[in-house]
Structure 1
């Protein structure tokens, strides 16, 4: 079955504040609810997730092939079965394309893959009942642009070969240098980068990212560029149309929501 949906989802912890209380992210909260409606309307059988905060390997893309994944964050506890067929097929077709990929198995083969907040927060908001199997991958920033795009292309092939409808979550926050008192200090490139990303998505033209300078991307302190290039690889084969939903800054980092539907 094909890729039926994709989204760019932030993973800031403020999104988990109680719905009936004050929130610094009103636009993002509304956008995530809309994204969940799109996600559910696509009727996925499984979820592929790209996270920047998982098990990062030097110049490689890691992907979990353990039976389960599990993670905890504050009061949030999340467990999910791994779609091992999809994960193995994704890795296989990526390796065929020359992509450096490393399947992950824990020392105890039955131990769960640790799920980071880049996985648990989007899943808690999009699949709160924890019903769908997942395939979790984490690209290194050292992987080439060509291979990141090929990684998305390989997911399309793996999805087409499997008997399942696949939704892709690109878990990504944007520039992390919006405030002098933030964790990484102030970087003017963060605002520039975020504006360029918003404009690319509004125009439904992720190919613009290929013209961006590596030094500028690094200075922007973003964790979104690499996963988003893989979405470009998907979109080159699947007619997903972008719909920009929201952009806000949570103290020092940017949060962007976008839905990609057929």
Structure 2
């Protein structure tokens, strides 16, 4: 049985946040609308805490990094505006996730900053977390950063350990895979243009729509490098945490209004 109250794949472009949309609110309006629907769905699930998988947080070389500070705080700046956020961390769940991963021989570690506990124990919130959380209930969080030094198979295995920890916690837990996709859609973007970007995103959309998340592990290394996505690793953790026989997908939207692709998808238990 799927132990997660609700799960989703979201993007993390700063302009998705309404307060940061600037003078071109239509630029990410499709995604913003999908995020509002995910707001409703996550709120209806009434989670006790939310786990966010981000590619942009504090990294441990060769290990999954799991936040274990009292709180996290950060800002996103876009279009001459700033959006700030602070959240409490569910340290009990964070430690349980780490314990389950290590019991399975998966390299992982918890991270903290400043002091062991108290108000100075605070890690930075990155934009991969702040953007989706802007639309979610204000509950404690656990932030997990994958590592590209480990194999795709190890990311699936980490997802299974994550699932085990959530089952043991007996908490209502939401899960967010924060993912942007190909970053090479625009010659004026920071990564330039590559013709691989469009077909890469098209294939990812098809895999999500047909509930075949595990197959993102089958992309060739050169294809990935050319398209420059940052969503594969988080998606594989989600796939390991919620196996195909237990998940029902509602694909909400895809757009690439700038240089990178944005996807929103919701995951429910089968039989919903």
C-alpha displacement at 1:35, in angstroms?
A: 1.1
C-alpha separation in 2, matches of 1:51 and 1:207: 18
Deviations 1:154-176 (A, max 9, x none): 11111111131010010110000
**Which aligned pairs between 1:87-126 and structure 2 lie closer than 5 A?**
87-109=94-116, 110-126=120-136
- The residue number in structure 2 matching 1:220 is 227
Moved over 3 A (4+): 17-21
The answer on whether the counterparts of 1:24 and 1:250 sit within 8 Å (CA) in structure 2 is yes
C-alpha separation in 2, matches of 1:2 and 1:237: 13
**The one of 164, 168, 175 aligned to 2:182:** 175
TM-score by length of 1: 0.94
Tell me, what secondary structure is at the counterpart of 2:73?
A: strand
- The residue number in structure 2 matching 1:160 is 167
Unmatched tracts of structure 2, length 5 or more: none
C-alpha displacement at 1:247, in angstroms?
A: 0.4
Deviations 1:116-156 (A, max 9, x none): 000111101223xxx20000010111121121011111111
C-alpha displacement at 1:237, in angstroms?
A: 7.6
TM-score by length of 2: 0.90
The answer on whether the counterparts of 1:11 and 1:118 sit within 8 Å (CA) in structure 2 is yes
Deviations 1:45-103 (A, max 9, x none): 10001000001222211111111111112321111111011110111111111211121
C-alpha separation in 1, matches of 2:11 and 2:83: 16
C-alpha separation in 1, matches of 2:4 and 2:99: 18
Tell me, what secondary structure is at the counterpart of 1:118?
A: helix
The answer on whether the counterparts of 2:15 and 2:22 sit within 8 Å (CA) in structure 1 is no
C-alpha separation in 2, matches of 1:66 and 1:88: 11
The answer on whether the counterparts of 1:69 and 1:115 sit within 8 Å (CA) in structure 2 is yes
